[in-house]
Chain A
Amino acid sequence: MPADGLVTQMRKGALEYCVLALLVGRSRYAFELIEGLASTGMLTSEGTIYPLLSRLRRDGLVDTEWRESSDGPPRRYYRLTADGKRALKVFRDEWAGFRTTVDAVLEKGGTL
């Protein structure tokens, strides 16, 4: 179904920015990010967060740092970079405009 495919793609695309948003103000390790996203239903299988994080890192939107944990092996923490903050800001603005436009068209529909 095309609509279903579109929603999947939109969710995938938006997920990147949701992860960036979760990193605003504090760095987190992958497991925390998964917990943060669990209630949203955006992450259908938890494992897909890892290719996403790898991509964000490759694009320089996040950087990583290993930190010792009190109860086990070290954890890799993800942190927003300046580029990441910029990308998130651009998305926020775009998203707001996009949502407003689509909402308007969907509500008014044939009356436009």
Chain B
Amino acid sequence: MSAPHAEQIVSGYLARLEQALAGLPPARRAELVDDVRSHIAEARRGLAAETDADLLNILDKLGDPADIAADARERLGAQPPPAAMPLGILEIAAIVALVLVWPAGIALVWLSSAWSQRDKLIATVFVPGGVLALGILSGVVGRGYFSHFYILIILVLITPVVWSIGAIYLAVRLYRTRRGGQANLAAADSGSGFLEIAAVVLTPLLWPIGVILLWTSTAWNTRDKLIGTLVPPGGYIGVSLLLFAPALSYTSSSTCAQPPTGPMTCTYQGPPGWLSAIGAVVGIFILVLPILTAIYLGVRLRQRNPARPAVPA
């Protein structure tokens, strides 16, 4: 049977322990409190009829929570205090750029170590395209692909909200992590697994997904990842959008006028010849780039495998 004040005595001790362990990583803290809780339960198992004094003896033998905490700090290493993490200019720039210049923002987000892999993925998915894409989107929509005006309005209103949620999420995570004083650097296994192959294949085709996979993998270093992200900006989706936009704004048309006297004159309004030529060259270049990048990533992957361990980004 439980001692009269068992609950009070035990939970009081555990609360003091938890408090004394402040500053240790939350996971370690929780583990230690759990261990000590199990210890007390184990010790109570051996008692036939426990008294308050029995419990107090168990706790005495366990030791002062402050001593256990001091030992834990020594054994588990002093964790760098939250203040040691500099107020990241990188992180702030990442959040701002995310909303304004998406590719740059995403690159900065992934360069920073302040966010966990999961946070970065969420940010990448939730902030698709930034204002850049909004421009393209409203351009496409405005050109009559969707004639309904309110669809445009809804898109224009909703997309910035979604991006802001992404940016706010990152900011909150940053704040939490800084307070926790623990950069969550999850190191995944390296290698040319399914993830890496999917990243190489999807980067030119479905850019956002390919880029996410690229950054999730630890098989490439940060430089490779940046090249993979920025060189094919948007993959073929981005390319088609890019090609669409000028084509839409330059609808060629001919206006003809016949004055009362004289022959009919026609004026051709379309992209000038030189612009078309440059457009064609740029177009071919853009079409080839994603493939080249995918090949580059593939080569880097082969170089890295299997002997050398991957350098975590």
Q: Does A55 contact B (CB under 8 A)?
A: yes
Question: What chain B residues lie within 8 Å of A51 (beta carbons)?
Answer: 32, 68, 71-72, 74-76
- In the complex, whether A31 has a CB less than 8 A from a CB of chain B is yes
Say how far B98's CB is from chain A's closest CB, in angstroms. Answer: 35
Query: Which single residue of chain B is at the shortest CB-CB distance from A44?
Result: B63
Contact B41 A50 (CB under 8 A): no
> B residues within 8 A CB of A75?
38, 42
- Please, how many angstroms separate the alpha-carbon atoms of A47 and B72 in the complex? 10
Kindly list chain A residues whose C-beta atoms are within 8 Å of the C-beta of B43: 31
Interface size class of A (residues with CB under 8 A): 20 to 34
- Chain A residues with Cβ under 8 A from B67's Cβ? 45, 47-48
B42 neighbours in A (Cβ, 8 Å): 29-31, 72, 75
**C-alpha spacing A12/B75, complex, angstroms:** 9
CB closest residue in chain A, given B43: A31
A72 to B40, CA, bound (A): 13
Is B52's beta carbon under 8 Å from chain A? no
Main secondary structure of the interface of A (DSSP, over half): helix
Interface residue A82 (Cβ < 8 Å from any Cβ of B) = no
A71 at the B interface (CB under 8 A): yes
Interface size of B in residues (CB-CB distance below 8 Å): 24
- Taken together as a complex, chains A and B put the C-alpha atoms of A58 and B25 apart, in Å, by 13
- Tell whether B179 is near chain A: CB-to-CB under 8 Å: no
Which residues on the B side are within 8 Å of A103 (C-beta)?
A: none
Q: Cβ of B189 < 8 Å from any Cβ of A? A: no
Q: Tell me which of A12, A44, A54, A71 contacts B31 (CB under 8 A).
A: A54
Answer whether residue B36 sits at the interface, using C-beta atoms and an 8 A cutoff. Answer: yes
Which of A29, A54, A71 has the most CB atoms of chain B within a 10 A radius of its CB? A54
Tell me which residues across on chain B come within 8 A of A52, comparing CB atoms.
Answer: 71, 75
Q: Is the CB of A47 within 8 A of B62?
A: yes
A76 at the interface (CB under 8 A from B): yes
* Contacting pair B68 A45 (CB below 8 A): yes
Q: Tell me the minimal C-beta distance from B31 to chain A in angstroms.
A: 6
- Minimal beta-carbon separation of B100 from chain A (angstroms): 42
Q: Which of B17, B38, B75 counts the most A-chain CB atoms under 10 A from its CB?
A: B75
A73 at the interface (CB under 8 A from B): yes
Cα separation A58 to B77 with both chains bound (whole Å) = 11
User: Is the C-beta of A46 less than 8 angstroms from some C-beta in chain B?
Assistant: yes
Point out the residue from A12, A44, A72 that lies within 8 Å of B45, measured CB to CB: A72
Pairs A-B, 7 closest by C-beta atoms: A45-B63, A51-B72, A47-B62, A47-B68, A50-B35, A48-B71, A47-B63
Q: CB within 8 Å of A: which residues of B? A: 17, 28, 31-32, 35-36, 38-39, 41-43, 45, 61-65, 67-68, 71-72, 74-76
Offer 17 A-B interface pairs, CB within 8 angstroms, sorted by A: A29-B42, A30-B38, A45-B61, A45-B68, A46-B63, A47-B63, A47-B67, A48-B68, A50-B32, A51-B68, A51-B74, A54-B28, A54-B32, A54-B72, A58-B76, A75-B38, A76-B35
Apart from A51-B68, A73-B41, list 14 A-B contacts with CB within 8 A.
A31-B39, A31-B42, A31-B43, A45-B62, A48-B68, A50-B68, A50-B72, A51-B74, A51-B76, A54-B76, A58-B76, A72-B45, A73-B38, A76-B35
